[in-house]
Chains A and B, each alone.
Chain A
Amino acid sequence: MSQNETTAAPERRSLRAKPFAKADRIFYRVSTIAANSSIVLVSLILIFLGIRAWPAFESQGIGFVFGSTWNTSVEPIVMQIGPMLWGSILLSILGVMLAVPMAISIAYFIVFMAGKKLGSSVSVLVDLLAALPSIVLGLWGLLVFSPVAADWAKMLHDALGFIPIFANSGDNFLRSPFIASWVVAVMIVPIIASITREIFSQLDRELISASLALGAGRWSTFRRVILPTAAGGIVGGVLLGLGRALGETVAIYFVLNLIFDINIFNILEPKGGSVASMIMSKFGEASTAEVSGLMAAGVVLFLVTLFVNMLASYIVAKAQPWRK
């Protein structure tokens, strides 16, 4: 702000770096239209779902989100997604809790422990994990992983059943939030790991080697230098993973019982919920009024993931100042 010249400077001219030739104007116009189509697309999604969902919101009121009954055989029908919404949140949080240590460890291993060659092959594996379609993970979760995890759940229950979280009223340990959250964790590990890896690899190498050279151990370097600097990015990555977990559909449908009875924290009970899976499972035989309810559930889910993702991208962008 050094505009304290004694003589008045000549007037600033408008510098138009704008396209002059016709072809250039078309070039910019086309890209602008394409870019704005994403704005249009997101608003269209919200508008059309909103229109279709409106009857359900209108008839159900606020109970749609917080109530826990879904009964379409009574008149007037009752549609409330409380257990599903809480189920989605519970699963996602558990999934994130399982995924975070694995993801950070993988990222740390790739960036700071493995050599160049090993590191890059491990990151290829992480990318491969990210590329696995969720339905394939769902099939694996249903047929391979569920029996194993049910054993783990039973052992957990036998050892720690006196703690309410690990209580189980019956003897069925399949199709519980515990199992579903493992499947979700497998899905989001690569998301968190790849962002964390990128943040780690952008850290100032000099800072880290200086810390090590000063006689600080790997642990205190990790604790005092790496984690504080990378924390923002990791949180952003975790939120991105959370968004993905909230929207996961088929895989959860395969490994979890969807029960309209709220299960607050009994993670070993074979009852849970997921908005996305519920939409898909009910869609096939839904009446018009029920479809409206499913649309409304979709709107709620979208708003939640939208919020989580916006927050995530804001935090990630803040944590990665080197990207403009």
Chain B
Amino acid sequence: MEKVITAPVARPATAEPWKRVAPASRLMLIVASVAPAAFGALAMVLGLRFELALLFVFLPVQLVLGVIAGRRISGKRGQSDAILQIFIIFFAATVFVLLVSVVWSVIESGAKAISWQFFTQNNVYISPTTSLEYGGVGHAIIGTLLVVLLSTVVTVPLGIATAIYLTETRGRSRSVVRTLIQAMSGLPSVVSGLFIYALFIASGITQYVGWAGSLALIPLMLPTVTRVAEESLFLVPQELRNGALALGAPAWRAFWIVTMPAAKSGLITAVLLGIARIIGETAPLVITTFAANSTNYNVFNGPIATLPTYLYQFTAYGYDTSIQRAWGAALVILILVAVLFVSARVITRKKKTSKKVK
């Protein structure tokens, strides 16, 4: 279809898009972006706090100069545009600074705690004040991996099958399921822990145990897996499914041979993001798996330590060394999350580039 040409609109008399920005206005732009920083720096030298200098010197100067520059360059609308852009960049930069602050403080403080033995040793005979040369989070890393693995083994088939239901079938309860999945994604993690506690521990079926923690993580992981998987299946063109069906395929073979491979990278991303969602969950584990000092390889027997509960415990002790250990654990969690996150990115990236090749 060719583009519909709408009725011609009168061009504003002042619009001169071909006109290059005059050198004078370019100078204005430079002044408007550099001068506020200079004023801010001056204010700081004169003894004003950084935050105050930013808020009460830098930003106002920036606004005033921005408005003047905007007005010089593009008239009246330049003013409000300048204000909009300055605020947008200011707020966006705030988010950036917060993010960098979080990541940097974890890396900086965590690195001090981390050593080879921090990864390999467990917490037996270690008190909150024991120096950092002894003990580590080895047991918690193993515990986290096992607990998360068990959750993943249950949740991934469930989540992907639900996504299949939502995209590949015409089941009647699709909208109900979709709404409930959405609702589940807002389930407070502590409530999920309470649920498993009420179901298995308070009722005397089991003591604190690894698998209870895994179960408590399922309602938290399920919505992420389902939604990302649904999205990636949804993006597979309908023509491919029709092509497969028209060749005489039963629906399950069409899915298995055509739709699923086409959505493969999205499905893997669903799994990775699901794991990233639960790997740092703390509250449900505190309620269901408790903590342990020794290494426990069996999620079906006895309490098990995990990185988040370790971090929680050692932060709560409040001693300098215990806090350092907590930072170390935080860094380990961050590394795990980063690995998952980067793998998910790489996988989706590959998909995109291979599409471009054609």
Contact = CB atoms under 8 A, between A and B. Distances in A.
The 7 tightest CB contacts between A and B, nearest first, are A133-B280, A247-B188, A217-B77, A34-B161, A105-B91, A309-B186, A27-B252
A28 interface: yes
A35 B171 contact: yes
A66 interface: no
A249 B105 contact: no
Interface stretch (A40-48, A173-181, A264-272): A40-48
B252 A23 contact: yes
B189 interface: yes
Q: Looking at chain B, what size class is its interface with the partner chain?
A: 35 or more
A250 B310 CA distance: 13
A298 B219 contact: no
A27 B106 CA distance: 46
A131 B341 contact: yes
B170 to A, nearest CB: 7
A45 B165 contact: no
Interface in B89-131: 89-92, 94-96, 98-99, 101-103, 105-106, 109
Interface string B44-72: 00000101100000000000000000000
6 contacts: A34-B165, A52-B202, A135-B330, A136-B280, A144-B102, A305-B187
Interface string A38-80: 1101101100110110000000000000000000000000000
B78 A35 contact: no
A42 B184 CA distance: 7
Interface in A209-242: 213-220, 222, 240
B256 to A, nearest CB: 9
Contact of A113 (B77, B85, B190): B85
A124 interface: yes
Given A142-B315, A298-B194, A306-B186, 5 more contacts: A34-B165, A45-B187, A109-B89, A125-B96, A135-B280
B183 A313 contact: yes
B300 interface: no
A222 B166 CA distance: 35
Contacts of B15: 213, 215
B188 A127 contact: no
A208 interface: no
Contacts of A310: 179, 182-183
A161 interface: no
A49 B191 CA distance: 9
A254 interface: yes
Contacts of B158: 34, 37
Interface stretch (B34-42, B133-141, B281-289): B281-289
A101 B89 CA distance: 11
B312 A39 contact: no
Interface stretch (A4-12, A162-170, A276-284): A276-284
Given A19-B251, A102-B94, A32 B171 contact: yes
Contact of B165 (A31, A103, A254): A31
B14 A250 contact: no
A124 B190 CA distance: 28
A294 B194 contact: yes
Nearest to A50: B198
Interface string B187-206: 11111101100110010000
B191 A129 contact: no
Given A109-B89, A313-B183, A35 B250 contact: no
A48 B199 CA distance: 7
Interface string A20-31: 110110111011
A258 interface: no
Contact of A309 (B96, B182, B340): B182
Interface string A103-135: 111101100010000000010111111011111
A139 B169 contact: no
Contact of B187 (A135, A283, A302): A302
Given A143-B323, A144-B101, A186-B98, A247 B191 contact: yes
Contact of B77 (A101, A128, A219, A308): A219
A24 B252 contact: yes
B176 interface: yes
Q: Which of B92, B101, B226 has the most CB of A within 10 A?
A: B92
Contact of B80 (A34, A129, A220): A220
A145 B100 CA distance: 12
A48 B198 contact: yes
Nearest to A248: B188
Contacts of B176: 39
B279 interface: yes
Contact of B283 (A155, A276, A312): A276
A215 B13 CA distance: 10
B211 interface: no
B186 A244 contact: yes
A190 B52 CA distance: 26
Given A134-B280, A152-B51, A246 B188 contact: yes
B92 A27 contact: no
B76 to A, nearest CB: 8
Contacts of B202: 52, 291
A45 B195 contact: yes
A106 to B, nearest CB: 5
Nearest to B256: A27
A189 interface: yes
Contacts of A248: 188
A301 interface: yes
A295 interface: yes
Given A131-B341, A189-B95, A45 B14 contact: no
A254 B101 contact: no
B183 A134 contact: no
B83 interface: yes
